[in-house]
Chain A
Amino acid sequence: MRRSPTRNSSRTERPQGNRQGGIPQLKVFNRPRRTCPFSGPKALKIDYKDVRMLSRFVTERGRIMPRRITFVSLKAQRQLSTAIKRARFLALMPYVAE
């Protein structure tokens, strides 16, 4: 009987300390958020012939990297994935690297 209230209270307390609320959000680092490498002034150009550039957006096994890791914009990611697929078709890049 005594355990349940304590458990409840710990449950209500948890979100404070843990995730978004709770700890006051101090901006310790004022680091700018990473932006899309294909937009802005120093933008890379998406080209299916440029294997050196494309290989930065592919895992070691040759899979296309997700946007959440590379910060590529949605529009650029679509163009990028077709570019990678074209490069694969022309055997410039592997479908599966071993």
Chain B
Amino acid sequence: MSYYECIFIARQDLLQSQADALAESYEKVLAEHKGKVVKKEYWGLRNLAYPIKKNKRGHYIFFNVEAPAEAIQEMERQMRFNEDVIRYLSIKVNDFEKGPSAVLRNQEREDNIREKFARDYADRSEDISEEMNEENHAS
């Protein structure tokens, strides 16, 4: 049994539920070949850096898998047939990372920044409206 990181990208027109169903079907394939999914991550509908098969965005699904090589081969074979999967990559690793992967960590950070910005902006617009009111009163 080896450790693998598997990522695949699903087509943009799929719903999130459909993408999840797809992921589950591959989990099942791995299970049939004595594999085990240790961790599963859904990275969301991300923008692709360049278009792939006319897709500008894609559902990213990430697995940490402990499985024999045959299981990975079988999963990749099935991914090749499926038109909904536009990219897949399986990498053998020595050890799994603990906690959420870098993509999710970065996403969280960006969300925090955006949130903070939105809050600041809201505060400022309040200030401005208050100032305007004051000015109106003065006149």
Binding site for B on A (CB under 8 A): 47-53, 86, 88-95
Contacts and interface: CB of A to CB of B under 8 A. Distances in A.
Given A90-B7, A90-B87, A90-B89, A49 B103 contact: yes
B67 interface: no
6 smallest beta-carbon distances between A and B, as pairs:
A50-B102, A91-B48, A94-B49, A49-B102, A91-B49, A52-B106
Given A94-B50, A95-B50, A89 B89 contact: yes
Contacts of A92: 49, 103
A11 to B, nearest CB: 53
A53 B109 CA distance: 13
A93 B106 CA distance: 14
Interface residues of B, number: 17
Given A94-B49, A95-B50, A89 B87 contact: yes
B69 interface: no
A90 B102 CA distance: 14
6 contacts: A49-B101, A50-B106, A52-B106, A89-B87, A91-B9, A91-B49
Contacts, number: 41
A81 to B, nearest CB: 15
A93 B48 CA distance: 8
Contacts of A51: 102-103, 106
Contacts of A95: 49-50
Contacts of B102: 47, 49-53
Given A50-B106, A51-B103, A52-B106, A88 B89 contact: no
B49 A93 contact: yes
B128 to A, nearest CB: 34
Contacts of A50: 102-103, 106
Nearest to A87: B49
**Counting chain A CB atoms within 10 Å of each CB, which of B7, B49, B52, B101 scores highest?**
B49
Contact of B50 (A48, A49, A91): A91
A72 B139 CA distance: 64
A50 B107 CA distance: 11
A81 B62 CA distance: 22
A91 B56 CA distance: 10
A91 B106 contact: no
